[in-house]
Amino acid sequence: MKKLKLEELGRMSVDEFKEAEKIPVSILLDNVRSLHNVGSAFRTADAFRVEKIYLTGITGTPPHREIHKTALGSTDSVAWSYFEKAEEAASKLKAEGYQIIIVEQTTKSVPLHEFIPSSSGKYCLVFGNEVNGVSEPVIELGDLALEIPQAGTKHSLNISVCLGIVAWEVFRKLKLAK
């Protein structure tokens, strides 16, 4: 076994990525304050060919050196837009036929492993503020709430970790579990 060099990985260019088929998933960041979490969201979205990221409220936007630190250039490949209010972005996506999936602990949360996305569906995964979570107006627009089962003393994960787990699971079920 040997570690692969960058040139052996067969990665596509930014232009090829922009033209490549994406999974029918967008990500909405609802007032995420950490620029490192924003950068990580971009990098994860690139890894799993997510359609677009919606940045809302206080969430930082590219270009920014702290976002770039974790995004590593993925702000150039992943489409994004900014909305002042998260509920405006969620309403727009809902009107376009996206199922709004809140990633949050609610009275009706479904464990992530039980969620089965339809290959014909379109999904918007909503991740909230590091302290306050997803805002109430967006929760009210939600079609479904997902949560990652946890067994430790803490009741939450860092957004970048949570986003990576959820994006991987949705990607896996849409693209690899056929």
In this structure, what token pair is assigned to residue 21?
Answer: 């088929």
b/e map 115-147, b = 16+ CB within 10 Å: bebeeeebbbbbbbbeeebbbeebbebbeebbb
Q: Is the pTM of this model over 0.85?
A: yes
Mention every residue, 6+ apart, whose C-beta is less than 8 A from residue 1: none
Q: Distance from CA of residue 40 to its chain's centroid?
A: 10
> Could you tell me what percent of the chain has a pLDDT over 90?
93
Q: Would you state the pLDDT for residue 7?
A: 87
Domains of the chain: residue spans and CATH: 18-176 (3.40.1280.10)
**Per-residue pLDDT reduced to its tens digit, 34-70:** 999 999 999 999 999 999 999 999 999 999 999 999 9
> What type of residue is 173?
K
**Per-residue pLDDT reduced to its tens digit, 10-28:** 889 999 999 999 999 999 9
156-177 average pLDDT score: 95
DSSP classification of residue 108 = T
Contact indicator for 44, 71 with CB cutoff of 8 Å? no
For the chain, the farthest-separated pair of C-alpha atoms sits apart, in whole angstroms, at: 51
> What type of residue is 160?
S
In this structure, what token pair is assigned to residue 83?
Answer: 């909305």
Mean pLDDT in the chain? 96
The neighbouring-strand residues paired with 105 are none
